Amino acid sequence: MKGHKDKSGIVLDVRNLNASARTAVLNNYTGESGEVAAALPGGKLLKWVAVSFCLVCILQAALNISLRLALRTDASCKNLTEEEDSLKKNNDGKHHGIKSPPASQNNILTRERDDLKRKLADFASQNNILTREIDDLKRKLADFVSQNNILTRERDDLKRKLEDFVHYAQQGWQYFNGSFYYISSTKQNWQDSRDDCLQRGASLAIINSKEEQKFIRQQQETIIWIGLTDKETEGVWKWVDETPLTGSFWYSGEPNNYRGSDEDCVVINYYNDENSWNDAVCENQNLWLCEKKMVI
């Protein structure tokens, strides 16, 4: 190439210059590589035009980029606003429950709620009634249990009495007005007679009434010991159950501690008479009369 570039890269053609001009140019504008730089006034203008053109191009490019960015930002903002509105709506829906139901749906729900309230009140009322009934039944059951216990005890008592009846009747005892009576077939002193009755679950006879006195006399055929004594204190007569003597059936002249003897035990001696008792010496040998009280 015949042209020369200056430091800015502008190429100058020096072929058509005359010799002096070419020399001047080459002397004054030759670069390090020997190329000729733009040394003419027209070249300077061209350089400026080129530079300006480049600047314009750069500005244009920058403007384009800015506009594009601006448009994109505007679109993005629009999208974002729409998304925000959408999110707000959704958010409101979440905060206040799913969409507000229509009025008819609301009425149905209100009726159902009221129905459930009434049913709950009915259940509560019914529950109270049942609770009272349960309490009543519990009380009745407790009464029945108590009554049952009483009846069971009474039944057991009657069973025992029946067994006793059978037992004493089978042993030859005679029943009269709440007691069984037994007259021995052998003779003993008063204390041994008393002990024998105790072993039979009974005691020597204790006479409390005319009727009893009469019944006993009708049973006996000879003298018998009864359960009366003044062994503890002379003259103070007591029954074997520790009760004091109230009514008595002494024979005429008795008790007499006959001729100074120590007569501390009582026999029915004169059994043909109502007043038939006699005090006798306790070591005498006699039949004896046991009595077993048995109130039905």
- 95 versus 259: smaller Cβ distance to ligand MAN: 259
Q: Which does 6 bind (CB under 5 to 8 A by kind): ligand MAN, Ca ion, none?
A: none
- Tally of residues, the chain: 296
Using rule CB under 6 A, residue 268 touches ligand MAN: no
**Shortest reach from residue 200's CB to Ca ion, in Å:** 28
**CA–CA separation, 270 vs 235, rounded Å?**
21
**Shortest reach from residue 256's CB to ligand MAN, in Å:** 5
Using rule CB under 6 A, residue 250 touches ligand MAN: no
- 165 versus 251: smaller Cβ distance to Ca ion: 251
Using rule CB under 6 A, residue 278 touches ligand MAN: yes
Restricting to residues 200-239, which ones interact with ligand MAN according to CB under 6 A? none
- Which H or E run includes 104? helix 103-170
Whether the CA torsion 273, 277, 283, 288 is positive or negative: it is positive
What spatial distance separates the first Cα and last Cα of the chain, rounded to whole Å? 164
- Map tokens 């009915």 to a residue: 122
**Phi/psi-derived region of residue 201, left when phi > 0, alpha when psi is between -120 and 50, beta in every other case:** left
Q: Which does 165 bind (CB under 5 to 8 A by kind): Ca ion, ligand MAN, none?
A: none
**CA–CA separation, 213 vs 73, rounded Å?**
138
Instruction: Assess contact for 257 and 263: CB atoms under 8 A.
Output: yes
Omega within 30 of 0 (cis) for the link into 244? no
Using rule CB under 6 A, residue 256 touches ligand MAN: yes
Using rule CB under 6 A, residue 258 touches ligand MAN: yes
Using rule CB under 6 A, residue 280 touches ligand MAN: yes
**Shortest reach from residue 223's CB to ligand MAN, in Å:** 9
Q: Which of 263, 265, 277, 282 lies at the binding interface for ligand MAN (CB under 6 A)?
A: 263
Restricting to residues 18-37, which ones interact with ligand MAN according to CB under 6 A? none
**CA–CA separation, 288 vs 273, rounded Å?**
19
- Which parts of this chain interact with ligand MAN (CB under 6 A)? 254, 256, 258, 263, 278-280
